[in-house]
């Protein structure tokens, strides 16, 4: 996908589709110019009641006498100012329509929208991201391939051109690229995307890129490091676990890196604590943390951010077998803490904790783990925000702010000692679940907190945000936009 900026009059633009917005009850800016150039077509449509400007309304005008465009997509902007999500909804729907229309290019005019507190640069970045996301297709396993999306070029209309807006378009494009990588990895089934496949994709970052190196730890190497907690999860699977480490050196040698850790459970059956069958297929998405860590790495590389970034993804399959870990088994983690595994379905934390100890060697400025960790967070927050936990208030606030700025929101959660106390085991240093189901996402985070003793750390529970179920089943790629925004601020 290609993005560019146009400052000349929109009415003369040669484009397959001119996308314009019109508020309810008034024609201003580009809509007004288009109305004038087309001999009052829009005024007539409003008068006849064929277009009212209601928020979300769309009307395609196939005839465009007086314009350079081959067709016009009229989008209703409503009466009131839009918030971020309102803007996104309109642009997303317009992009979807452009894909359905099979046009090769379009000119998008969103400057006249009243978006509270958001300048053209913000709109440009979001528009590029949303158009980039709209062309995502996952057709790998269809024997009859649906046609490739035609949309190749989107131009943004702006009365003023600037390097800032051009840069915002490039950033939006890079974010969409990372989001789409995360979606692709998420949508791949467990028999295609297993730990070895994740290792292959991790190695690809380092190809032809002197700033990137990839290291893959196999089970033998992990055993030597003492990563027995992670290994206890892959014990039941015939596919060996892998920890993949991707290092990007875009900053100065002396800059402390940010470490991103991803939960990479390529399929979570629950292990011996087997899950019920209902929707179990969706547990192919249990590597969403790793997918979004890879997606973020992809975007950071494309943007060339001047930071040092390390991605550590713990990739395993959680399966039941004669070799699988059993409830009651006790394992010694890399940190030395012993863990009583009371439920083999609480496996994500067992994977992450060893990756967290491994991360200590980087003396990082911050460590952020990303994980589809608990069903409980969906009960608590639903599917709208990513849950944010942290042992450092400033880091937590930075992530909340990054979520707001990128419109990929997160919400802070508590991490009080009381939650951690539920993890006391009669036989080991820790048990891997809390006293009951109550506060399940928080006790999971409290478990991880026990391993974050050497650095500032945050944990993102993305169980509610990484994928959609139902008719729109598919990965979202969240929270790549939030993480990229956070890292962009680190770079400054």
Catalytic residues: 275, 349
Is residue 317 a contact residue for Zn ion (CB under 5 A)?
A: no
Question: Rounded to whole angstroms, how far apart are CA atoms 402 and 396?
Answer: 10
Listed ranges 258-266, 270-278, 451-459, 482-490: which one lies at the site for Zn ion (CB under 5 A): 258-266
Scan residues 250-269 and list those touching ligand BES (CB under 6 A).
268
From edge to edge, which strands make up the β-sheet containing 2-6?
A: 2-6, 153-157, 105-109, 18-23, 72-78, 58-61
Is residue 369 a contact residue for Zn ion (CB under 5 A)?
A: no
Is residue 84 a contact residue for Mn ion (CB under 5 A)?
A: no
CB nearer to Mn ion: give 345 or 405.
Answer: 345
Scan residues 344-363 and list those touching Mn ion (CB under 5 A).
345, 347
Residue 20 in contact with residue 30, Cβ under 8 Å? Answer: yes
Is residue 463 a contact residue for ligand BES (CB under 6 A)?
A: yes
Cis bond upstream, residue 479 (ω within 30): yes
CB nearer to ligand BES: give 35 or 354.
Answer: 354
Burial class of residue 401, CB neighbours in 10 A (0-12, 13-18, 19+): middle
Is residue 485 a contact residue for ligand BES (CB under 6 A)?
A: no
107 - beta bridge partners? 18, 155
The interaxial angle of helices 163-187 and 288-303, nearest 10 deg, is: 150
Is residue 317 a contact residue for Mn ion (CB under 5 A)?
A: no
Is residue 433 a contact residue for ligand BES (CB under 6 A)?
A: yes
Is residue 461 a contact residue for Mn ion (CB under 5 A)?
A: no
Q: What angle do CA 405, 411, 415 make, to 5 degrees?
A: 135
Of positions 52, 83, 338, 343, contacts ligand BES by CB under 6 A: 343
Token representation of residue 98: 């452009």
Is residue 374 a contact residue for ligand BES (CB under 6 A)?
A: yes
461 - beta bridge partners? 371, 387
Of positions 13, 179, 291, 376, contacts ligand BES by CB under 6 A: 376
Is residue 268 a contact residue for Zn ion (CB under 5 A)?
A: yes
Question: Rounded to whole angstroms, how far apart are CA atoms 179 and 81?
Answer: 28
Listed ranges 3-11, 264-272, 420-428, 481-489: which one lies at the site for Zn ion (CB under 5 A): 264-272
Q: Which residue has the tokens 């009371």?
A: 342
Question: Rounded to whole angstroms, how far apart are CA atoms 465 and 394?
Answer: 23
Is residue 346 a contact residue for ligand BES (CB under 6 A)?
A: yes
CA dihedral for 185, 248, 408, 157, sign (positive or negative): negative
Token representation of residue 163: 């390097």
CB nearer to Mn ion: give 112 or 347.
Answer: 347
Please count the residues of this chain forming the interface with ligand BES, following the rule CB under 6 A: 14
For strands 72-78 and 18-23, give the pairing.
parallel
Listed ranges 152-160, 176-184, 205-213, 260-268: which one lies at the site for Zn ion (CB under 5 A): 260-268
374 contact choice in Mn ion, ligand BES, Zn ion, none (CB below 5 to 8 Å, kind-dependent): ligand BES
CB nearer to ligand BES: give 250 or 477.
Answer: 477
CB nearer to Mn ion: give 345 or 408.
Answer: 345
CB of 222 vs Mn ion, minimal distance in Å: 20
What single DSSP character describes residue 258? E
Provide the binding-site residues for ligand BES, judged by CB under 6 A.
Answer: 268, 286, 343, 345-348, 372, 374-376, 433, 440, 463
Provide the binding-site residues for Zn ion, judged by CB under 5 A.
Answer: 265, 268, 286, 348
């Amino acid at each position: 996908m290609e993005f560019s900026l146009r400052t000349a009059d929109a009415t003369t633009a040669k484009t397959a589709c001119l996308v314009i917005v019109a508020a309810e009850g008034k024609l201003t800016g580009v809509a007004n110019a288009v109305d004038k150039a087309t001999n009052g077509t829009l005024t007539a449509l409003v008068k006849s009641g064929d277009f009212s400007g209601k928020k979300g309304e769309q009307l395609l005008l196939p005839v465009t006498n007086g314009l350079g465009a081959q067709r016009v997509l009229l989008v209703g902007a409503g009466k009131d100012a839009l918030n971020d999500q309102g803007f996104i909804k309109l642009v997303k729907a317009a992009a979807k329509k452009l894909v359905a229309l099979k046009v090769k290019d379009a000119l998008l005019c969103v400057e006249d929208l009243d978006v509270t507190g958001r300048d053209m640069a913000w709109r440009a970045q979001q528009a590029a991201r949303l158009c980039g996301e709209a062309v995502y297709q996952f057709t790998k396993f269809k024997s009859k391939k649906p046609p490739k999306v035609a949309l190749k070029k989107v131009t943004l209309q702006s009365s003023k051109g600037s390097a800032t807006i051009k840069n915002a378009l490039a950033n939006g494009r890079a974010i969409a690229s990372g989001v789409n990588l995360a979606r692709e990895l998420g949508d791949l089934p467990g028999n295609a995307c297993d730990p070895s496949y994740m290792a292959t994709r991790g190695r690809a970052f380092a190809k032809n890129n002197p700033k990137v190196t990839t290291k893959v730890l196999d089970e033998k190497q992990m055993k030597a490091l003492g990563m027995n907690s992670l290994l206890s999860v892959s014990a039941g699977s015939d596919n060996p676990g892998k920890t993949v480490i991707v290092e990007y050196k875009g900053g100065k040698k002396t800059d402390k890196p940010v470490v991103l850790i991803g939960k990479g459970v390529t399929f979570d059956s629950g292990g011996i604590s087997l899950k019920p069958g209902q929707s179990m297929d969706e547990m192919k998405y249990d590597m969403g943390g790793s997918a979004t860590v890879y997606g973020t790495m992809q975007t950071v590389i494309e943007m060339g951010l001047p930071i040092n970034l390390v991605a550590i993804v713990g990739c395993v399959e959680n399966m039941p077998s004669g070799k699988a870990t059993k409830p009651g088994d006790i394992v010694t983690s890399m940190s030395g803490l012993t863990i009583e595994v009371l439920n083999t379905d609480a496996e994500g934390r067992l994977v992450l904790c060893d990756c967290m100890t491994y991360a200590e060697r980087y003396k990082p400025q911050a460590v952020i783990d990303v994980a589809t960790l608990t069903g409980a967070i969906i009960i608590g927050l639903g599917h709208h925000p990513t849950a944010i936990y942290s042992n450092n208030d400033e880091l937590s606030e930075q992530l909340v702010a990054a979520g707001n700025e990128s419109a990929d929101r997160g919400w802070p959660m508590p991490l009080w000692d009381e939650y951690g106390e539920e993890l006391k085991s009669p036989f080991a240093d820790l048990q891997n679940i809390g006293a009951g189901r109550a506060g399940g996402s928080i006790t999971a985070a409290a478990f991880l907190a026990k391993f974050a003793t050497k650095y500032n750390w945050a944990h993102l529970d993305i169980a509610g945000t990484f994928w959609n179920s139902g008719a729109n089943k598919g990965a979202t790629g969240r929270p790549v936009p939030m993480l990229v925004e956070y890292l962009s601020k680190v770079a400054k």
